[in-house]
Structure 1
Amino acid sequence: RTLLTAAGRDRGLGTEAVRLIVGHGFERLGLHRISLEVFAFNPRARRVYEKVGFVAEGVLRQVLRDGGDWVDATVMSILAPEWAAHRGRPERRGS
């Protein structure tokens, strides 16, 4: 989990932190796959993961009780060959 205060938001710090962690996993530890779950009430986090290259795989329905409501989680992953192709910047791919 990456947590930033209000002063740290909208500056790309969370995105860069995720890039560094994922890069370490693939480039230093030799991992093949990194996966995570992101809750539906956290669209900012999901956007960060997408910007780094994570792909949504599916939804775990109603996995968390939040007050009186049930919340879904999206399972996301990124593979080593995908990381090697864009190094956490898929939007720059091919440019």
Structure 2
Amino acid sequence: MNFRILIGPRRRNRRLGTEATILVRDYIFLNTDLKELTLGGYAFNPRAQRVYEKAGFILDSIDKADLEYEGEMIDALNMLLTRERWEEIYYKGHTLN
């Protein structure tokens, strides 16, 4: 399963992206038998990448020059979280602050 979120400028810096990502992540792995969760972001948004990494995702691949943004070609970052990695995080009680 792949998902995306968008937090508008007026709601940033309130940990809403982190909370939303963790809620979706845990819901999926607690209530389905999916083996992995993927998501994508763009290289011009390192804040999002940090949120995803805090939630346990790892960089899986990069699609070079995937998006033209303001006249510049931007890489897409593809991130992955396996059920096995999620179980390590979730059941060992790691905090994600």
Q: TM-score, normalised by structure 1?
A: 0.83
Counterpart residue identity of residue 34, structure 1:
L
Contact 1:58-1:76 at 8 Å conserved across structures: yes
How far off its partner does 1:91 sit?
A: 5.8
Identity %: 35
Provide the residue aligned with 2:45 in structure 1: 42
Partner secondary structure for residue 39 of structure 2: strand
* Count of matched residue positions in the alignment of Structure 1 and Structure 2: 92
What is the aligned partner in structure 1 of residue 23 from structure 2?
20
Does 2:33 align with 1:33? no
In the alignment, which residue of structure 2 is the partner of 1:78?
81
Aligned residues: CA RMSD: 2.1
Deviation at 1:10, TM superposition (A): 2.0
Helix, strand or coil at the partner of 1:81: helix
Distance 1:45 1:77 in 2: 14
After superposition, the Cα gap between the structure-2 partners of 1:67 and 1:90, relative to the gap in structure 1 and judged at 3 Å, is: farther
Q: Which stretches in structure 2 are left out of the alignment for 5+ residues? A: none
Say which SS state the counterpart of residue 10 (structure 1) adopts: coil
1:53 match: secondary structure: coil
Aligned to 1:57: 60
Give the SS at the match of 2:18: helix
Uncovered stretches (5+) of structure 1, i.e. residues with no partner: none
